[in-house]
Amino acid sequence: MPEQKIYRAKQIFTGHEWLRDHAVITEDGQVTALTPLAELPGDSGISYETILPAFIDLQIYGAQGKLFSVYPEVKTLEAIHQYCKQGGAYWFQPTVATNTPDVFRKCIDAVRMYWKKGGAGCLGLHLEGPWLSADKKGAHIKVLIHKPSLDEVMDLLECGKGVIKMITLAPEVCSDEVIGYVREQGIVISAGHSNATYAEATSAFDNGIRCVTHLYNAMSALQHREPGLVGATLLHKNAMASIIADGHHVDWPAIRIAKEMMKDRLFLITDAVTETTEGAYQHQAQGDKYVASGILSGSALTMMQAARNLIDHCGIDKTEALKMACVYPALALGMEDSIGMIEPGMTAHFIATDEKLDVVQVIF
């Protein structure tokens, strides 16, 4: 017999609307109904203040002193998942910045092993580089950045088949043949660390690239005579973009401008790293951010803190801030039919919070 569970709440955000005094009914890991409390026995289920869809973090590098590229192990992915859940994100994409083929392969193997051992929440691997613009390298290792051959791409994607779900690349650096091949593998391409002109970026969006990595950071800026990748992203109806809402990577008014322009095309990531003295990227904590070799390199965000920042500093209303943490990331991955909302037929993963949006429990 299916196991039914009942989760009651004063308010439930489904991803589309707020329901007052309702319960989420689940059976065998799926949402089966959203039911008014008045229709349920008074003592049935567990009660919470607020229930929200589980958040989705599409870009996180490590946690608890374990950077994934340095420690490509199941324990690292477990640590990342635990960190994510503390901020309301059940789903995550471990991310590896520009690195050697050996490191990429070890990270691919670690994700496979994590899944084999029943590891939860990991949607797949996000490779950020190495096919980027050296002029917009940010904190990436310049000597490892390069233009790829099709053979190189085919070799890496064959190794990462079923594991690599997203690749950040500079569209002006990669041939149409390379970009076409990556898209054929069902991998989401995100334009980033790119010096593309407005025309190059617009052409890339017209030809199927549908995401942009950490808007404003490490890309050709919006200028009055050359709008660059930023300008193309703001205007193109097919382009979605992630943004780091920590107040260091992007100034608050710039986030507000992007939100006004992009509406449901803008979503949150943490871009969170962790302190490490090993490997190619040695991040040091500096207040509530991280630096590597003196360059801003990553955040100390959780997804819930990022959403709160949008509300508190950017004038974005609570409903939209929450959508940017769950609904819109699911859209970016093309997974909106299974995660990111609380609706009958969808996966039963959500978070319970108090009235201040502090995470009380991750339910799965």
In order of 6, 167, 176, 210, the CA distances from 333 in angstroms are 29, 12, 22, 10
Per-residue pLDDT at 283: 85
Q: What is the pLDDT of residues 16-61, one digit of tens each?
A: 999 999 999 999 999 999 999 999 987 788 999 999 999 999 999 9
Mean pLDDT of 327-337: 97
Question: Phi and psi for 295 in degrees, rounded to 5?
Answer: -105, 135
pLDDT category of residue 1 using cuts at 50, 70 and 90? low
| Single-letter amino acid code for the residue at 249 | H
Domains 4-53+343-363 and 55-333 share a fold: no
Spatial separation of the C-alpha atoms in residues 102 and 58, rounded to whole Å: 23
How much is the mean pLDDT over the chain?
Answer: 96
Q: How many residues does the chain have?
A: 364
Q: What is the pLDDT of residues 196-242, one digit of tens each?
A: 999 999 999 999 999 999 999 999 999 999 999 999 999 999 999 99
Q: What is the pLDDT of residues 86-133, one digit of tens each?
A: 999 999 999 999 999 999 999 999 999 999 999 999 999 999 999 999
Strand partners, 191: 169, 212
Could you tell me if 190 and 238 are in contact, meaning their C-beta atoms sit under 8 angstroms apart? no
Q: What is the pLDDT of residues 150-198, one digit of tens each?
A: 999 999 999 999 999 999 999 999 999 999 999 999 999 999 999 999 9
Spatial separation of the C-alpha atoms in residues 285 and 267, rounded to whole Å: 25
Boundaries of every domain in the chain: 4-53+343-363, 55-333
pTM to 2 decimals?
A: 0.97
Fold of the CATH domain 4-53+343-363: Urease, subunit C; domain 1 (2.30.40)
As annotated, the active-site residues are 271
Spatial separation of the C-alpha atoms in residues 145 and 105, rounded to whole Å: 17
Per-residue pLDDT at 274: 93
CATH assignment, 55-333: 3.20.20.140
Per-residue pLDDT at 172: 98
Per-residue pLDDT at 277: 85
| CA atoms in the 13 A half-sphere facing the CB of 305 | 16
Spatial separation of the C-alpha atoms in residues 60 and 92, rounded to whole Å: 7
Is the pLDDT score of 292 beyond 90?
A: no
Structure-block tokens of residue 312: 């508190």
Could you tell me if 166 and 127 are in contact, meaning their C-beta atoms sit under 8 angstroms apart? yes
Mean pLDDT of 319-325: 98
Spatial separation of the C-alpha atoms in residues 171 and 292, rounded to whole Å: 26
Angle at alpha carbon of residue 267, lines to 163 and 317, rounded to 5°: 150
Angle at alpha carbon of residue 253, lines to 248 and 257, rounded to 5°: 120
Residue-wise burial string across 158-185, b where 16 or more C-beta atoms lie within 10 A, e elsewhere: eebeebbbbbbbbbbbbeeebbebbeeb
Could you tell me if 182 and 211 are in contact, meaning their C-beta atoms sit under 8 angstroms apart? no
Per-residue pLDDT at 350: 96
Share of the chain above pLDDT 70, in %: 99
